[in-house]
Structure 1
Amino acid sequence: MNHLELQALRHIFFLSIEEAAQYLATDDDVSRWLRYEQGEEEITPLIIAKLSELLAQRKSRMNAIINKINSRIGNNTMKYFPSFEEFTRTYPDGDFLAWKTYQSVAAELYSRGLERLC
């Protein structure tokens, strides 16, 4: 993974630089994260593994929802959770990165015209 791909993935998951440093790098070192994104420091295997796992979860969730869309008739709506607190009311066991993954999928499906957000 290169620094541009890292930036793209951070945006796909709606993570701020601070959130990426906290939840992906787990060291809260914003300046180090910026060095990753600027290509000045090698991205750690831990960050690459976490992002790979998130991408796999995103793909799995997206495919499951698309399969449901293809087999249903009527309105296609998906809940959009503007805050982590709202997400955990519906998914009490969900963590911060699960929320970001869910939101990423919802936005992607909406952008493709496959789901409306509610």
Structure 2
Amino acid sequence: MNHLELQALRQLFFMTVEESSAYISHDNNPVTWLQWERGEGEIPSEVIETFMQMIIKRKTHINAIIDKINSRIGNNTMRFFPDYASFLAVYREGDYLQWKIYQSVAAQLYAYDLERLC
């Protein structure tokens, strides 16, 4: 993964540099994260692996929803949680990265006119 791909994935999951340094690299050091995004230093393998796992989960969610749409199951409406607390109210066992994955999926399906958001 290069520095541009790192930045693209962070943005795909609606994450700030501060959130990424807290929840992806777990060092709470946004300065280091910004250095990686500028191509100044090697991106740790743990950071790459976390994003790869998030991509897999995102694809799984998207495919499951598209299967339901294609089978005409459901009403083609997906919840969009404006904040983490709203997400936890519904998905009590969810974590911060699961919320970011969910939001990314919801936004993409809405952008492709496959789901309405509520």
**Structure 2 CA distance for partners of 1:44 and 1:73, relative to 1, 3 Å:** closer
Percent of pairs with identical residues: 53
Structure 1 residue runs without a partner (length 5+):
none
* Deviation of the 1:6 alpha carbon: 0.3
SS at match of 1:92: coil
* Deviation of the 1:75 alpha carbon: 3.7
TM-score for the superposition, normalised by structure 1 = 0.97
Q: Quote the residue 2:47 is aligned against.
A: 47
Aligned residues: 118
Structure 2 residue runs without a partner (length 5+):
none
Q: Quote the residue 2:87 is aligned against.
A: 87
Root-mean-square deviation over aligned CA pairs: 1.0
Letter in 1 for 2:109: L
Q: Quick one: distance in 1 between partners of 2:75 and 2:81?
A: 19
Q: Quote the residue 1:70 is aligned against.
A: 70
Q: Quick one: distance in 2 between partners of 1:33 and 1:74?
A: 40
In the TM superposition, structure 1's runs of 4+ consecutive aligned residues that sit over 3 Å from their partners are none
* Deviation of the 1:76 alpha carbon: 1.1
